[in-house]
Amino acid sequence: MYKEASELIDMLYTMVSEAWGVPLNNDKCMVNREEFLGILEEIKVQLPTELAEAKRLVSARDEFIGSAKKEAESIRRAAEEKARQLVDEREIVRIAQSRSHEIISNTEYKSSELKKLASDYVDDILRRTEESLTSSLNQISKSRSRFRSMTGAQEMIQENSTSSMSSEIEL
């Protein structure tokens, strides 16, 4: 189906919220186990993909920042070399040094801004993934508790009917 984990979690939420309630107990509901487990399986498949994408973005960001630093260093070296060549002419040297510092400052500023933007983007993706996982775990935990409660209630009903049958037989 190739849906994102958050869409699959929304599907699970909808499935549980629209499920038929268990008679005499509004806290419990019945869902199609096969369909529910199928969606959970899709979530298990999607989450590693989304996490891999987040790691890829972090790696790309680090590569981009490294490239920007190399470019800044290259520009700095070029500016310093140019300044050395013009050492005899004081005004030209002063202008070159000023321009070199301006270029370095500008490049460092751009590098810093790009790093911040990339970090914010990756942090947002990781936050959404964390929220998605937390929501999934909470829903799974609730479903599991409901299932246990429902299973325990059914076992008690079966035990009661078995014991009443055996007391009628003794009479």
Helix axes 5-17, 33-85, angle to 10 degrees: 150
Return the percent helix, strand and coil in the chain, to nearest 5. Answer: 85, 5, 10
What is the pLDDT, as a whole number, of residue 4?
81
Residue 122 neighbours by CB under 8 Å, 6+ apart: 54, 57, 58, 61
Q: Are 26 and 50 in contact (CB under 8 A)?
A: no
Residue whose entry in the numeric block shows the structure tokens 């003794």: 170
Say how many C-beta atoms besides its own lie within 10 A of residue 165's C-beta. 9
Q: What percent of the chain has pLDDT over 70?
A: 88
For the chain, the domains span 5-151
pLDDT at residue 152, rounded to an integer: 74
How far apart, in whole angstroms, are the C-alpha atoms of residue 102 and residue 66? 20
pLDDT surpasses 80 at 87: no
pLDDT in tens, 55-84: 888 898 889 888 888 998 998 898 888 777
pLDDT at position 5: 78
| Whole-number pLDDT of residue 165 | 55
Grouping H, G, I as helix, E, B as strand and the rest as coil, residue 4 is coil
